[in-house]
Amino acid sequence: MYAQRFGSLPVALALSEGGEVRQPMSVAVIGGLFTSTLLTLLVIPVVYLMLDDLMDKARAKIRRYNAYRRLRQGGRA
């Protein structure tokens, strides 16, 4: 991952002859690697935790509703 970023850096900086032709491709590759790393390490775990909390809250509401229904029917909670 880092090797490809650092390997693309000279091309992105257009340090070689004709580098201005390959520069946009290299910038796109580096940007894509950065974006995918950011998504993988930060965004996906945060979304997972948010959905997990939401599921816990939904389960708790369902449990409370079922207990309330049983009480209204004269059963035990």
At 29, list the tokens. Answer: 């590759």
Q: Domain containing 23: what range?
A: 2-72
**Three-class DSSP category at 44:** helix
Compute the distance between CA of residue 53 and CA of residue 59 in angstroms, rounded to an integer. 10
The answer to whether residue 50 sits within a structural domain is yes
Residue 33 CB-density burial (10 A; 0-12 exposed, 13-18 middle, 19+ buried)? middle
Per-residue pLDDT tens listing for the chain (77 residues): 678 777 787 878 887 788 788 888 888 988 999 999 999 999 999 999 999 999 999 999 999 999 999 999 876 65
The answer to whether residue 77 sits within a structural domain is no
How many domains does the chain fold into?
A: 1
**Three-class DSSP category at 38:** helix
